[in-house]
Amino acid sequence: MGLLGMLKKGLSRSVPTIAEIASGERVKQEEAYNAWVEEAERQHRLIQEKTRPPFIDSPCGPFGFYPFPAGQYVCLASLRYDSKTGEVYEDSRSYYANRAAVELFLNDLCYAESLLDGSKLGLPSLPALRTDAARFVALDDLVGRIPPNTISMSIAPLTPTGKKPRYISSARFSSYLIPDYDDPNCYRGFGEKGSGGTFWYLENGSIGKAEIDYWDGTVHFRVKFKTVAGNLVVSNISYSDTIGVDPIAIYRS
């Protein structure tokens, strides 16, 4: 065999066909998937999650501002840890608002809801979307179980690269009607009545974004807020009148 023939033969062996490339990629994908399944099963066996009973704690973290005043709060913590080594992978804590923190958060909530003016948004038929603040339960003392209709604060961890996140903390609230079935005049309709949502805060203490869901039976409005040039604005309003159906956008800024 001449030199040219040997070179051609060598090239034909070194350059895989499309079918060979595809087959090799499939093997790699299967190996990667099997490794992922094995790791997921290992973590399921080893990493346990445990929620501590409520206790009193002071918020602490690498940031300077939180939506609640400095002090001690009723806290609920969820731990994810290795059942063999005891190593904690995540310590997620929620701090529940006392009376002073409720009043402070209401300033932000009322300001955001003041932006829901249908005449200014070009939605004259938009109903008055407001949260019933009278339903909020302030936790001034330790309780054995967290009641409904509270306001809780969570502190965001540093990013995986050790940097501050954009939103350093968040406040979650719920204000829903709790039926009293001993009262013949209580609401007995289908669906919920009330509102709930989350506010995310920037390091300077201002609201970075927010989302609130308003329910009145089967009628559901979802409102999203964002900041534009440092000002909070309504970014999206969606609507649905059927349980289980995703709301459709009726307003976008």
Task: For residue 237, give the nearest of 125, 133, 108 by alpha carbon.
Answer: 125
Contact call for residues 155 and 171 (beta carbons, < 8 A): no
Planar angle of CA 57, 59, 64, nearest 5 degrees: 160
| pLDDT above 70 for 90 | no
- How does pLDDT run across 200-212, given as a tens digit for each residue? 999 888 999 999 9
Could you tell me the pTM of the whole model? 0.75
- Between 27 and 140, whose confidence is greater? 140
CA distance 128 to 130: 6
Q: What is the mean pLDDT of the chain?
A: 84
| pLDDT above 80 for 86 | no
Work out the end-to-end distance of the chain between its first and last CA atoms, rounded to an integer number of angstroms. Answer: 74
Beta strands in the chain (DSSP E): 47-51, 55-57, 73-82, 88-96, 151-155, 169-176, 192-201, 207-217, 219-228, 231-240, 248-252
**CA neighbours closer than 13 Å in the CB half-sphere of residue 172:** 8
Angstrom distances, CA of residue 240 to CA of 81, 156, 248: 41, 32, 6
* Kind of pairing between the strands at 231-240 and 47-51: unpaired
| pLDDT above 70 for 187 | no
pLDDT score recorded for residue 60: 77
Amino acid at 63: F
What is the arithmetic mean of pLDDT over 22-43? 77
14: which residues sit within 8 A by CB, 6+ positions away? Answer: none
160: which residues sit within 8 A by CB, 6+ positions away? Answer: none
pLDDT score recorded for residue 194: 95
Q: How many CB atoms within 10 Å of residue 147?
A: 10
Element (H, E) at 146: none
Asked which of 53-62, 83-92, 182-191 is least confident by mean pLDDT, the reply is 182-191
pLDDT score recorded for residue 226: 98
| Residue 98 pLDDT class (50, 70, 90 cuts) | very high
Mark residue 113 as left, alpha or beta (left: phi above 0; alpha: psi -120 to 50; beta: remaining).
alpha
Contact call for residues 153 and 59 (beta carbons, < 8 A): yes
pLDDT score recorded for residue 18: 60
